[in-house]
Amino acid sequence: MAARSAHSFGGSAEDAAEEFLRRNGYRILRRNYRTRLGEIDLVAVEGGVVCFVEVKARRTDGFGSPQEAVDGRKRERVRHAAAIYLAQEGLGAVDCRFDVVSVLPNGEGSGLECELLRGAFR
């Protein structure tokens, strides 16, 4: 049952992050783009820049902020998946960046709060 709850929370966090990005001017191109080398939670465009967005959610910040969980291994997997996405879409020479959206329950516990870190890694 815990796994189902975690999956449900993760899906809700991705929904919240996607809506947050839309409200902030992003156009979502893909969600959960998967390759054998890694996954990208959201691929979007903002101001002509292709953004590869990692969504990190936590139920509390007791063990650090969600964005702190995007470690070197995770960044490398996202970079590899992004390179594959760009090649598949014929977008080799476009401007791109890697963003992170951290998601935490709000103080009242009735919703989720999102925080965007643009250009979180190269």
Q: Which domains does the chain carry?
A: 2-121 (3.40.1350.10)
Each residue of 37-75: b (16+ CB within 10 Å) or e?
A: ebebbbbbebeeebbbbbbbbbeeeeeeebbeebeeebb
112: Cα separation from own chain's centroid? 15
Which residue bears the tokens 């960044």?
75
Query: For the whole model, what pTM was predicted?
Result: 0.86
Pairing of strands 49-57, 96-105: parallel
What SS3 class is residue 33?
A: strand
Measured distance CA(47)–CA(56) in Å, rounded: 23
Assigned token pair, 27? 């156009």
Q: Is 118 left (phi over 0), alpha (psi -120 to 50) or beta?
A: beta
Answer yes or no: is pLDDT of 88 > 50. Answer: yes
Is residue 97 very low, low, confident or very high in pLDDT (cuts 50, 70, 90)?
Answer: very high
Measured distance CA(64)–CA(3) in Å, rounded: 21
**pLDDT for residue 108:** 67
Which neighbouring-strand residues pair with 50? Answer: 45, 96
**pLDDT for residue 64:** 67
